[in-house]
Amino acid sequence: MCCFCADSMTFNILQLFKISDVKKYRPLKIDIIPYQLVFHKPAGTSRGVLHTKDSWFVILTHAEKPGIRGIGECSLLPGLSPECNGDFETVLHEVKAEPEKWVNDQSLSTTYPALRFALETALRDWQNEGQKILFPGPFTQGLKSIPINGLIWMGTPEEMIKQIHEKIESGFTTLKMKVGAINFEKELEIIRYIRSYFNSKALTLRLDANGAFSACEALNKLQMLSPYDIHSIEQPLRAGQPGHMALLCQKSPIPIALDEELIGVYSPAEKIHLLDTIHPQYIILKPSLHGGISGAEEWIQLANERDIGWWITSALESNIGLNAIAQWTANIQALGVQGLGTGSLFKNNFTSPLYIQQGMLSYNPRQAWEINLPIT
């Protein structure tokens, strides 16, 4: 189980940038720049195949220190991000028009969590002189690294086996494999193939179904998977079926991690109700989907109180958003293997100090950033 240092739970947007500070440093200016990330290879999930992914970059400046820019990333996932449902473009115009109002708007956590994450991290970057060092410490000094899992996307059996060999040869000792899109027997064959070469002591295997199993078939499929020493399976059922999910968590021979189930659950009372109803073994945290960093930290506190494990993953951010998540993850001293290996997925990602070696995400403080955005 991961752990969390409770003393570090101090990330609050109002503590970072109080209203009095806003008045002191007026006028604030926020620019918002759209950017489309392009995958090296199609990324297959049970919800479909991704070729591109959209992000918006929030650039924050103020007149008294015009050379300092804070940058945050608003990363949206179609079908998952609440921002995709309606008036997001209108909201972006309002943020640009009234930045003082929006940087302190707590309601963003419930309606625009990815935008909240972008504003939180842009503010923290600005506070730290725009150097992309949001949480200084051993990670950003290059002294400590974060263990991460290698991600195996859905594809043909041959493609998935090729990915598995590449990840293992790169030094990963934990793999996360997407399941639920191809024939289940073929997926079992792939898992059987993995275990024929690597037992659970040599290789930890996580699965992610993205809600692909039906309530009537899920337990049977999990029982068929259980002989292969599966660490956990994320979201076996489609979100929004708390009764079925609770029963599955109770009976499953494989520990269950909630992912999409957490989306749209923002108030403390709602979070408590969900955790106490379903009793999952793990929860998966994505700041861009769960109310920003402050929203994710609230989930962590509630999970710790219930002895529920957790780990942190990205929502397919570019290196800008991934950098913020990684630094926060290191800052709260999260233990265990995290899901932060997505930076290499894109053809047009930004050059950054982040790099992956032997299944570890590290930060090279001598590597300069190269961010090619039309920043005014």
What CATH class does 146-363 carry?
Answer: alpha beta
The model's pTM: 0.90
Low-confidence ranges of the chain (pLDDT < 70): 1-26, 44-47, 105-109, 375-376
Q: Rounded to an integer, what distance in angstroms lies between the CA atom of residue 168 and that of residue 204?
A: 11
Tokens for 251, please give them. Answer: 């009976």
Give pLDDT, residue 155. 79
Q: What is the pLDDT of residues 351-367, one digit of tens each?
A: 999 999 999 999 999 99
Give pLDDT, residue 107. 65
- The structural domains of the chain, with segments of one domain joined by +, span 6-127, 146-363
Give pLDDT, residue 184. 92
Q: Rounded to an integer, what distance in angstroms lies between the CA atom of residue 300 and that of residue 218?
A: 27
Tokens for 263, please give them. Answer: 């989306």
Tokens for 118, please give them. Answer: 């972008």
Q: Rounded to an integer, what distance in angstroms lies between the CA atom of residue 255 and that of residue 83?
A: 31
Is 6-127 a domain of CATH 3.40.50.170? no
Nearest-5° Cα angle at 353, 350 to 358:
110
Specify whether the CB–CB gap between 57 and 35 falls below 8 A: yes
| Active-site residue set | 178, 286
